[in-house]
Amino acid sequence: MVALVPLHPGPLTEAAVVSVARHGARVDLTPDALTALATGRAAVEKLAASARPAYGISTGFGALATRHIPPELRAQLQRSLIRSHAAGSGPEVEREVVRALMLLRLRTLATGRTGVRPETAQTLQALLNAGITPIVPEYGSLGCSGDLAPLAHVALALTGEGEVRAATGELQNASDAMQSAGIAPIELTDKEGLALINGTDGMLGMLLLACHDLERLLNTVDVTAAMSVEALLGTDRVFAADLQALRPHPGQAISAAHLRRMLAGSGIVASHAGPEDTRVQDAYSLRCAPQVNGAARDTLAHARAVAQRELDAAIDNPVVLPDGRVESNGNFHGAPLAYVLDFLAIAVADVASMSERRTDRFLDVARNHGLPAFLADDPGVDSGHMIAQYTQAGIVSELKRLAVPASVDSIPSSAMQEDHVSMGWSAARKLRRSLDGMTRVIAIELLTAARGLDLRAPVPAAPATAAVVAALRRQVPGPGPDRPLYKEIEAAVEFVHSGAAVAATEAVTGPWHDQAQEGRA
């Protein structure tokens, strides 16, 4: 059964956005939303009928805002705005991103602060529910004045122009797809074209999807870190709650609690815990895993706080205020989102870099404490995971380049009227690439750590790490002579992407959602 997400004048949740964008949930404009739409529209119509100039209603746009537009040209003004601003270029953006963008613009319309007609919002709702997804090109947004070009491509489809993907994925003209779905294109009236494109919805949609995905990856990298600590004969003493409490960062406490649960009952850890073990400290990539993974968790928490505030916002320019005034503003500037999108890319690169360092330790006989060189079956004849680490290193290098912030760049536009922009759309696009790379890096650590645990047999691994290895082995065979690794790497990528590693862990340890309290105990 397809879920239904009601749209009120109030905020949405991250989960609701993911449900609509990724899983096809339907949306429903509530009676409160329709009332708010009608109220906002009345304010715009009153202003349109007055002699007072109003930006985007009786004037041109951007640097052309000094031109007065007479009533008989105002429908053409809105239509021309959408046609001219649908100027994107490059490959089409992913369906889930476009659906998130559409939903978030619809949510803002539902606040009644943009002044569009109820039927315009209902048409956008109908496109979403019919699974019709406008083609939005990769390039075109500067992350200021909203995600103008991406949103304009969506608005173009609402008018029956441009191209879309039908629910089947087939490329169609917007008019044909709408006719097949029984949806009538709209004729834009006063302010509606501007209201459809003046939002941060693309940036915000990608931020929300990224936050959802990064939480799963940070849980998974706690799993792989624990497996690596165990298989590399590291100690779990450094993860003790009292030690972690000396530095009370919440994310660190959660990650350390995860590692403690993962390593509980490990025969491998117990096998070298006596006085004969002369090593007093593990390498940073093992010992400091909670500090780095935890810092990324705290960064994610900050990004989610920013995203939730944006979900509470009504972004448009001009905007309809509760008292009926229609005022210009700068709330469309994407800086708050651009900063956290860049911040997350930094955290992703660093967590992945530490994961790669743990993988590398497995392959070096000087540091892997008795495992074969490169975890090979017959070192010299076999190369084991030697080149898998090359792949990991190549991805990590790319992640470091993607961590260079987009938000510090600005190229003025619109004849210097828009003289400082956020580049938040670009920050969001590169973060999506970063998360894909992080997934692959973690997958290779998972493959390597699982092989390391297998090679420690017959000494038993912890029940939780053994459960992860067993689940992985249903997809990927264990140690043996060299075989093509690329299929195994892709299987491990899907294993990580699906959340299977965390699911296997939780089957032993219990749910991880209660770890914050344990971590602070």
What CATH code is carried by the domain that includes residue 91?
A: 1.10.275.10
Q: Work out the average pLDDT over 304-327.
A: 92
Predicted local confidence at residue 279, as pLDDT: 73
d(CA 218, CA 439): 10
Predicted local confidence at residue 520, as pLDDT: 39
Predicted local confidence at residue 260, as pLDDT: 97
Predicted local confidence at residue 74, as pLDDT: 82
Q: Is the dihedral of CA 337, 339, 344, 345 positive or negative?
A: positive
Q: Work out the average pLDDT over 426-433.
A: 97
d(CA 7, CA 37): 12
Whether the pLDDT of residue 340 is over 90: the answer is yes
Q: Is the peptide bond before 318 cis (omega within 30 degrees of 0)?
A: yes
Predicted local confidence at residue 477, as pLDDT: 97
Please give the mean pLDDT across all residues of the chain: 93
Task: Estimate to the nearest angstrom the gap between the alpha carbon of 295 and the chain centroid.
Answer: 18
Predicted local confidence at residue 521, as pLDDT: 37
Predicted local confidence at residue 519, as pLDDT: 40
Who wins on pLDDT, 56 or 43? 43
Residues 12, 68: one domain?
yes
Residues 188, 236: one domain?
no
State which of 145, 175, 199 marks the end of a domain: 199
Whether the pLDDT of residue 308 is over 90: the answer is yes
Whether the pLDDT of residue 433 is over 80: the answer is yes
State which residues form the domain around 96.
4-199
Angle at 260 between CA 254 and CA 262, to 5 degrees: 105
Predicted local confidence at residue 75, as pLDDT: 84
Predicted local confidence at residue 514, as pLDDT: 57
Task: Label residue 512 by pLDDT band (50, 70, 90).
Answer: confident
User: Do strands 4-7 and 26-29 pair parallel, antiparallel, or not at all (unpaired)?
Assistant: parallel
Whether the pLDDT of residue 516 is over 60: the answer is no
Note if 55 is an active site residue.
yes
d(CA 24, CA 239): 41
**DSSP H or E run through 129:** helix 118-129
pLDDT tens-digit series, residues 174-210: 999 999 999 999 999 999 999 999 999 999 999 999 9
Q: For the chain, what is the radius of gyration of the CA atoms?
A: 27
Residues in a beta bridge with 7: 29
Residues 192, 123: one domain?
yes
Task: Label residue 275 by pLDDT band (50, 70, 90).
Answer: confident
State which of 199, 225, 259 marks the end of a domain: 199
Residues 308, 436: one domain?
yes
Most trustworthy range by pLDDT among 8-12, 60-64, 136-140? 136-140
Predicted local confidence at residue 236, as pLDDT: 94
Task: Label residue 72 by pLDDT band (50, 70, 90).
Answer: confident
Lowest mean per-residue pLDDT among 104-108, 144-148, 236-240, 406-410: 144-148
Give the domain CATH number at 295: 1.20.200.10
d(CA 10, CA 6): 10
Residues 339, 378: one domain?
yes
d(CA 310, CA 303): 11
Q: Work out the average pLDDT over 255-263.
A: 97
Residues 147, 213: one domain?
no
Predicted local confidence at residue 63, as pLDDT: 64
Residues 122, 71: one domain?
yes
Whether the pLDDT of residue 518 is over 50: the answer is no
Residues 136, 220: one domain?
no
Q: Is the dihedral of CA 155, 159, 165, 168 positive or negative?
A: positive
Q: What is the 3-state secondary structure (H, E, C) of 438-456?
A: HHHHHHHHHHHHHHHHHHC
Residues 212, 86: one domain?
no
- pTM for the full predicted model: 0.95
Whether the pLDDT of residue 1 is over 60: the answer is no
pLDDT tens-digit series, residues 435-444: 999 999 999 9
pLDDT tens-digit series, residues 463-501: 999 999 999 999 999 999 999 999 999 999 999 999 999
State which of 182, 199, 216 marks the end of a domain: 199
Residues 156, 215: one domain?
no
Domain count, the chain: 2
Residues 162, 257: one domain?
no
Residues 237, 156: one domain?
no
Predicted local confidence at residue 2, as pLDDT: 60
Distances (CA, A) of 191 to 9, 194, 224, 318: 19, 5, 53, 9
Q: Work out the average pLDDT over 352-363.
A: 98
